[in-house]
Structure 1
Amino acid sequence: MKVPEKPKELQDIIRKNSSKVFKLLDDKSVMDFIVKCNREYIHWDKLRYENIPNEKNPEHIWAIMKIFRSQQYKPLKFNGWSFKYLLLDDALKKLHLMDKGAAGHLETGLESVNTGGKSRYIISTLMEEAIASSQLEGAATTRKIAKEILRLSKRPRNYSEQMIINGYETMQKIIKMTDEPLTPEIIIELQKNITKNTLKDAYDEGHFRNTNEIVVADPLKYERIYYTPPDYKIIKDLIEEFCEFANNDDGDFIHPVIKGIILHFLIGYIHPFSDGNGRTARTIFYWYVLSRGYWLFEYMSVSRIILRSKTKYSLAYLYTETDENDLTYFINYNLNAIEEALHDMETYIDKRQKEYSEALVLIRDIKDINLRQTGLLKEFMKNPEKIFVINEIMTTYNVAYDTARNDLLHLTELGHLEKIKMKNKYLFKLSKKNIRPW
């Protein structure tokens, strides 16, 4: 991936071509094109390849686009750096959906999902987030294998599996710390947890970088440098200011989801660690939105969506950095990813509502089992050849060991499962008796 071309300064374009630039305001087809480009919020690097009406100069078009944008920018100062962003109508619509419509609709939908089902889905979401976030940083393990490792609490066999286990354990921790203010010590601890037993130099686990010998570069062409982080000597001060920004909700209002996205960006921009910056940034985003009451994110894996469009994610960073620190590119990308994650969640709820109705029928037909046991039996029916162990059920359903064991033994006593003893533990599989497929 090439570094996007940096646009010329607005003042330079206007100073040399002011009459030609402002004459564009009288050309309706050009103005319609400009409105469209700003609605889509395209970067100069994309604009210069667009089919521009009346073959007008792209730089002149860019100047008018920037003038219109500048009228709506919200400024953001951080450690002497100047950032800015604007919220387009589409962004405001997505935020409103998160604040009102989606929350109400999804909460109503989740009411039809029993407590065990909600808990199970949260666990599944945390797993998905840990897996995708690690795969974004190079973990070479399939989603199926990764989930099996987490469900069975297997020991990691390699670097990739360790990354995923670290990510899952860290996500579990941040859900329990949403009432705590963010501190440099917490950020260091998060990075330490995320990178445990995965770095060449163990010192880099839980320590800010102590060198400037680090750049963000193309992994396939390392001489192609995307970004050079700030001097390591100011990292401590930057992170202290970062925490103050995260904890302080006074001053000009920034929507919590937007602020969470900005925090995500800033960790990547500061690049405080030698490794694990991306995973730390995405973890802090989750901590922030959950700490501000956006409970929906417990049910959403945003990194899974980012993984589907990894190049666009990287470009969102680069577009911001090459266009005067305009955070709008990064904000828009993340809002689109969140919207897609919401759609995934809605699909899950629709599926669970159907399963709930079917489970009630199964309970009516099969006596002496409760809703949780019905879900468990259904899982066996979906995987008639699979062998299950107690620990897997315990992790998947978020229940105590005795509860998982008793459920399995109860279903075995009723003849729905078969129990197999292997060494010092019991394995369970669907019985061979004729149970209708689910």
Structure 2
Amino acid sequence: MRIPQKPPPFTELVRQLTSGERFDAILEMTRHQSASEHYLHWDKLKRLKPPEGLSLEEWWFGTKLQRMGVLKSIPLQDKEGEPFRFGIPDLVQKELHAIDVGAGRSIGVPEPITNPQTRDRYLIRSLMEEAITSSQLEGAVTTREVAKEMIRSGRPPRDTSEQMIMNNFVTMQRITKLKDEPLTPKMVFDIHRLVTEKTLEDPTAAGRFRRADEKRVIGDDFSDVVYHDPPPAQELEGRLNAMCDFANAKSPNFFVHPVLRSIILHFWLAYDHPFWDGNGRTARALFYWSMLHNDYWLFEFISISNILRKAPIKYGRSFLYTETDDNDLTYFIVAQTKVIRRAIDELHIYIDRKTAEVREMESHVRALDLFNHRQVELIRHALKHPHQQYTVASHQKSNNVVYQTARTDLLDLRKRGVVDWKKRGRQMVFIAPGDLAQRLRKLEKQARQ
């Protein structure tokens, strides 16, 4: 990833362009520009054709003046003591409205999420998806299928990649229980300890600040390029306390939309980089805590890392745009609000697709009326995956039920001939037969008699 070119020094532009009639012309021409669907950094703007009558530098200067008039400072400061600031351009307000409507602050919530019979299945699916993709962003190489099998079966992780994914899954479960508590340094350390357990070269680095002799720079593995040099270790305690105050809405002294507060919290921890490793996973976990803490409860079912993983360079560049343009957090906010809205859209698309699949299957296999919703979901999966193996533990994990309920479900399916079974040591293994559709039709005929 290339570091974006820094804009021309603003003080130099002021010196060159604020005298005479030219300044008035710049303001007039930039004032009448239509609201853009993009919040362009100089690195991109310099490649475009400027408005008629303006040079690139004049276009940037006018754009910058418009932005600076609405930027607000937050307590986060860079290493030189300069504050980070953000604005809320029209494109961000549009995304915030879409997020408010689609993520728990309106009545437009999908029925399968509100239905107690199906809610837990979607919750477990979301926790697994976020655990897997957040780990893949940090270098985990395990496939989604293997990772899901590990989580569902409860088997121990076999390597560091699997351990990262299991840690993230446990952490996301923990976040849902911490959502009503205020953020404290202890909670941050506990979350970091969860995401890094058994994955660090130095196990003592879990749940503590990086030390001065553990200075970490974020750079390119294949060159000497440094993307980010975090603040010194001796500042971390004060920075963490300030971050917790911000997360708990004790600062600043003006209203910050909860979604923006959550996004800035994500950036804040990543920028301070307080730990030797695991900062990205911890930052995304804190984002989820903040969204749930602010009553965006649908985020229990949404994975942002799934979107970030599809465009990791965009994700990294949004940090760099902020750091290379006078600490303007709006770049990161624009990128993240788009990610959040896409994640919400994908959840709705996924639920619509699954609902349609169930309806289509039910129209062909009326025998499904004979089973409970957990058994129906297993049958649906088994129809698509002949010879798939299931255990009490995997069924328990997939549906977030107690052991006895999962065992009763599977034994009932076996009794009715829906699944085959075998013993693996002391464990019962239930197998999807290749002729499952025919067996279900047979059950349907028997039910009619």
What's the counterpart of residue 289 of structure 1? 291
In the alignment, is the contact (CA less than 8 A) between 1:134 and 1:279 conserved in 2?
yes
The question of 1:265 aligning with 2:267 is answered yes
Partner SS, residue 420 of structure 2: strand
What's the counterpart of residue 378 of structure 1? 380
Amino acid at match of 2:14: I
How big is each residue's C-alpha offset from its partner over 1:179-231, in whole Å with a ceiling of 9 and x where there is no partner? 1111111111111111111111122111101126211112322x111121111
What's the counterpart of residue 390 of structure 2? 388
In the alignment, is the contact (CA less than 8 A) between 1:417 and 1:428 conserved in 2?
yes
What's the counterpart of residue 42 of structure 2? 44
CA distance in 2, matches of 1:431, 1:128: 27
RMSD over equivalenced CA pairs, Å: 2.3
The question of 1:94 aligning with 2:92 is answered no
Please report the TM-score for the alignment, with normalisation by the length of structure 2: 0.90
Aligned counterpart for 1:68 among listed residues 47, 66, 69 = 66
What's the counterpart of residue 246 of structure 2? 245
CA 1:319–1:436 in 2, change beyond 3 Å: closer, same or farther?
Answer: farther
Amino acid at match of 2:340: I
In the alignment, is the contact (CA less than 8 A) between 2:368 and 2:376 conserved in 1?
no
- The within-5 A match list for 1:137-148 is 137-148=138-149
Q: Give the Å deviation of 1:22.
A: 4.0
- The within-5 A match list for 1:225-240 is 225-240=226-241
CA distance in 1, matches of 2:384, 2:318: 40
CA 1:288–1:247 in 2, change beyond 3 Å: closer, same or farther?
Answer: same
Segment of structure 1 superposing worse, 329-338 or 196-205: 196-205
Partner SS, residue 144 of structure 1: helix
- The within-5 A match list for 1:141-180 is 141-180=142-181
What's the counterpart of residue 331 of structure 2? 329
CA distance in 2, matches of 1:279, 1:224: 23
CA 1:8–1:60 in 2, change beyond 3 Å: closer, same or farther?
Answer: same
CA 1:367–1:2 in 2, change beyond 3 Å: closer, same or farther?
Answer: closer
CA 1:201–1:365 in 2, change beyond 3 Å: closer, same or farther?
Answer: closer
How big is each residue's C-alpha offset from its partner over 1:406-435, in whole Å with a ceiling of 9 and x where there is no partner? 111111111111121222111112245562
- The within-5 A match list for 1:189-228 is 189-211=190-212, 213-221=215-223, 223-228=224-229
Partner SS, residue 62 of structure 1: helix
What's the counterpart of residue 118 of structure 1? 119
What's the counterpart of residue 342 of structure 2? 340
CA 1:434–1:374 in 2, change beyond 3 Å: closer, same or farther?
Answer: closer
CA distance in 2, matches of 1:293, 1:174: 13
How big is each residue's C-alpha offset from its partner over 1:368-399, in whole Å with a ceiling of 9 and x where there is no partner? 42222222222211211212222111111111
What's the counterpart of residue 406 of structure 1? 408
Segment of structure 1 superposing worse, 187-196 or 10-19: 10-19
CA distance in 2, matches of 1:350, 1:367: 21
What's the counterpart of residue 133 of structure 2? 132
Q: Tell me, which stretches of 5 or more residues in structure 1 are unaligned?
A: none
CA 1:55–1:137 in 2, change beyond 3 Å: closer, same or farther?
Answer: farther
What's the counterpart of residue 10 of structure 1? 10
Q: Give the Å deviation of 1:174.
A: 0.9
CA distance in 2, matches of 1:39, 1:370: 48
Q: Percent identity?
A: 37
CA distance in 1, matches of 2:426, 2:140: 33
Amino acid at match of 2:38: E
Segment of structure 1 superposing worse, 315-324 or 403-412: 403-412
How big is each residue's C-alpha offset from its partner over 1:242-272, in whole Å with a ceiling of 9 and x where there is no partner? 1111113563110111000000001011110
CA 1:84–1:363 in 2, change beyond 3 Å: closer, same or farther?
Answer: same
CA distance in 2, matches of 1:374, 1:416: 11
CA 1:366–1:180 in 2, change beyond 3 Å: closer, same or farther?
Answer: closer
CA 1:131–1:366 in 2, change beyond 3 Å: closer, same or farther?
Answer: closer
Q: Tell me, which stretches of 5 or more residues in structure 2 are unaligned?
A: 441-449
Partner SS, residue 40 of structure 1: coil
CA distance in 2, matches of 1:109, 1:101: 13
In the alignment, is the contact (CA less than 8 A) between 2:102 and 2:109 conserved in 1?
no
CA distance in 1, matches of 2:436, 2:233: 66
Amino acid at match of 1:72: V
Q: Give the Å deviation of 1:403.
A: 1.1
CA 1:102–1:229 in 2, change beyond 3 Å: closer, same or farther?
Answer: closer
Segment of structure 1 superposing worse, 59-68 or 87-96: 87-96
Matched residues, number: 432
CA distance in 2, matches of 1:346, 1:114: 15
Partner SS, residue 212 of structure 2: coil
CA 1:57–1:372 in 2, change beyond 3 Å: closer, same or farther?
Answer: same
In the alignment, is the contact (CA less than 8 A) between 2:101 and 2:108 conserved in 1?
no
How big is each residue's C-alpha offset from its partner over 1:76-129, in whole Å with a ceiling of 9 and x where there is no partner? 233554121111222112212222355435425336x74242111111111111
Amino acid at match of 1:90: L
CA distance in 1, matches of 2:146, 2:432: 22
CA distance in 2, matches of 1:106, 1:142: 34
CA 1:361–1:105 in 2, change beyond 3 Å: closer, same or farther?
Answer: farther
How big is each residue's C-alpha offset from its partner over 1:8-58, in whole Å with a ceiling of 9 and x where there is no partner? 23231121233545434555xx776x546x541110111112233458432
